[in-house]
Amino acid sequence: GPIQGDMVHPYLRRREGREPVVYPRPELEKVLGKTLGVPLFQEQAMRVAIECAGFTASEADQLRRAMATFKFTGGVSHFKDKLIRGMVERGYAPDFADRTFSQLEGFGSYGFPESHAASFALIAYASSWLKCHHPDVFCAALLNAQPMGFYAPAQIVRDAREHGVEVRPVCVNASRWDCSLEPTREGFAVRLGLRMVRGLSNGEAARLVAAREDRAFTSPDDIWRRAGVPVSSLVKLAEADAFRPSLALERREALWALKALRDNPLPLFAAADERDQTHRPEVPEPPPSLRAMTPGRDVVEDYNHIGLTLRDHPLTFLRHALERRHVMTCADGTAMRDRRLTRVAGLVLVRQKPGSAKGVMFITIEDETGVANLVIWPRLYEEQRRIVLGSSLLIVDGKVQKEGEVVHIVATRLYDGAGLLASVGDHGDAFPLPHGRGDEVRRSGAPDARRPRARDIYIPDLSLDAVKVKSRSR
């Protein structure tokens, strides 16, 4: 609401000293002094109506109710004539009165009372403090709270590792159900929990953890006998590469060992096995010589079975092919000077079309060096809708646009790199890219750019040469 009412950017400019703070009348300073002359909260809108336009308390409460619907129903517009006329009668310039109403009208889409804003600010501050000073704890907590939040676990883990957090893989002997913290010399490492293994139930994980309390597991057969976990669940653990950290069994070796197990052995053999188990010497069997998975295939399997990888980023395996296409890394592309042309590529993490952006789509892509934020104008979106909505790997031609510390790449042409991405696993399979709730396309579908939402209101800061509106989860 405040963005749509053109309140946020004037406030930020005034806070940074780039725009003068002007109060046409003393009563306005009394109402809006704490927010530098810009109405940001519902209570301020009510006070402006009472102090500057002569509204009664009852009329101001009706205005508040119209602003509190969180849906653009046109209720605020009913007060336009009275508010502008009241302000002009009290000595305000007509254009100032009209601009003030436009700001208040933004609350008709989504406006906060000050108490709500303070509550959100407190949560944001506390989260930022925790992420800054205890990134290991923050990472583990977010992973244990899934499914939730803006980003998928793969992005949470990648960001934590970039900030110096050691993340350890799922392990049949070390992982609990939740992600946990393991002491290190410099703090804690995050151990991925069994909850990350796709298809594994909490109950089966509990049986596994309880069975190893006395001593660690030594083999897949040992796990099967002591934990009583179904072979199908052990297969899920093997596919997630959970046998490698402590048992030194790669995926294929663990899966091969599990082939010899069955949940319900034949009664005759089960009785003989139970009678002779303590008396029969084990006959060592030479390990089979299995062809090792390629590094790229291991990465694909990681994404398939735990939704992330601790190995190399998928685009690492495509870097030479991308360089032949003159594609820069995201880090190099976003480091270029303002208005320079560039070509970057990355996995699609988030696609958004906020109602306040008038049909503009914001996309976040990621490669092995970091992320890049893309701006897709409505015309390009309509021309290349299939690629925008369906591609897992985007190759982007665009222009770098910098506004302070915020960097966007305004796309001029998009290319689908899904075929190239499928070659990472050597089998040509579609890459199992996970998407967080921030990706509106995967979550609920993106709105049609040709039919903007009814709640759209003019955004003066969104222009071809100056993009200042950051995408947010809606």
Residue (of 204, 184, 181) closest to 194 by Cα position: 204
What pLDDT, on a 0 to 100 scale, did the predictor assign at position 194? 96
Name every residue whose Cβ is closer than 8 Å to that of residue 214 and which is 6 or more positions away in sequence. none
pTM here?
Answer: 0.76
What pLDDT, on a 0 to 100 scale, did the predictor assign at position 94? 85
Over range 290-310, report the average pLDDT: 88
For the segment 34-47, what is each residue's pLDDT rounded down to a tens digit? 888 888 887 887 88
Distance in angstroms (rounded) separating the CA atoms of residues 71 and 207? 49
For the segment 422-452, what is each residue's pLDDT rounded down to a tens digit? 888 775 566 677 777 677 666 555 444 444 4
Q: Is the pLDDT of residue 106 over 80?
A: no
Over range 352-378, report the average pLDDT: 86
Mean pLDDT value across the chain:
81
Strands 361-367 and 341-352: antiparallel
Over range 199-221, report the average pLDDT: 92
What pLDDT, on a 0 to 100 scale, did the predictor assign at position 459? 33
CATH 2.40.10.10 assigned to domain 314-443? The reply is no
Q: Which range among 134-148, 349-363, 365-379 shows the weakest confidence by mean pLDDT? A: 349-363
Q: Is the pLDDT of residue 145 over 50?
A: yes
Confidence class for position 27, pLDDT limits 50, 70, 90: confident
Question: Pick the residue with more confidence: 267 or 391?
Answer: 391
Half-sphere exposure in the Cβ direction for 324 (13 Å, CA): 4
Tokens representing 59 are: 């009329």
Q: Which CATH number fits domain 134-276: 3.10.150, 1.10.10, 1.10.150, 2.60.40?
A: 1.10.150
CA dihedral of residues 13, 14, 16, 17 (deg, nearest 10): 120
Write down the domain spans for the chain: 8-116, 134-276, 314-443
